[in-house]
Amino acid sequence: MSERRPHPSDLSDGQWSWIEPVITAWKDRHRSVSGHQGAYAMREIVNGSLYQGRTGCQWGYLPHYLPPKSATYYYFAAWRDDGTDRVIHELLRCQVRERAHRLEDPTLVVLDTQSVHVAAGVPASTTGRDPAKKVPGRKWGLAVDVLGLVIAVIVLAAITHDNAAGIALLDQVAGHTGGTVEKALADQGFKNQVIAHGAGLGIGVEIVVRNPQESGFVPQPKRWRVEQTYGILILHRRLVRDYEHRPASSASRVYWAMTHVMARRLTGANTPTWRDPQEVTA
């Protein structure tokens, strides 16, 4: 069989070198009783998951030359459940911050939520209707640093108030950063409950009030970073609509999408857009 042509979503040698040590260590801890190492290369397993995230296809529609659904989903679910996806994400996040001459963990984060539609078949018990944005589906919450890198992700029913989302985000931020975060910027959807909860965690929450004299979309200083991150994530078509039955899978999709983005940043590669197909070389 001839060597397959790479997809734009495939990891280059340099990008794989950032992820491979974590995957290899995971495989060493999860050896089969028979000693069999599996029929598929781990790099192709990751490429299959990234291909699906970037194109939005169903598991069963993965190209025949990539590992099949049974193998790709097995590892996606295993890494989601034991936190390996987050370990890889955090490793790359710290490297990107170091390259920007910043400490591993930030002192300031930006909070925001976005309500997205869900696909048919997503359990109704995990969805709802956002009364403010009139969107039936799920609510994603992000906490990002001033570079736009994801610090925390939560996925809730869209009916959930931003207060509950903000509180959950602050808890994750405090747990993931070891108490380095001193300040969080949020929009007017977050209320006093979030401010009070942040104070209890040692995080000062500032509600950024929109200038009533301004009309249309006007980027707010520092807060625009979270809007930029949402825009980057939407380049991954699997995130345009929430297809996942489990909210944990939706959060894992965000971590893998950002891992893909950061791997490209670390190797100086541009992220191709939908409209500009590019040839990819290893």
pLDDT digits (tens, 9 = 90+) for 241-264: 999 999 999 999 999 999 999 999
**CATH node for 103-244:** 3.30.420.10
Dihedrals phi, psi of 151, to nearest 5 degrees: -100, -35
Q: Do the beta carbons of residue 153 and residue 239 sit within 8 Å?
A: no
Q: Which residues pair with 184 in a beta bridge?
A: 109, 205
pLDDT band at 31 (very low <50, low <70, confident <90, very high): confident
- HSE (side-chain half, CA atoms, 13 Å) at 58: 5
State residue 281's pLDDT score. Answer: 43
Distance CA 159, CA 259 (A): 29
Higher-confidence residue of 234 and 133: namely 234
Say if residue 214's pLDDT is above 70. Answer: no
The answer, as to whether pTM is greater than 0.95, is no
As a whole number, the mean pLDDT across the chain is: 90
Say if residue 1's pLDDT is above 90. Answer: no
Q: Do the beta carbons of residue 239 and residue 254 sit within 8 Å?
A: yes
Higher-confidence residue of 212 and 23: namely 23
Mean pLDDT of 79-96: 97
Q: Which of 245, 268, 244 is nearest to 256 (CA)?
A: 244
Question: Helix (H, G, I), strand (E, B), or coil: what is residue 205?
Answer: strand
Domain limits, the chain: 103-244
Q: ∠123-154-45 over CA atoms, to 5°?
A: 75
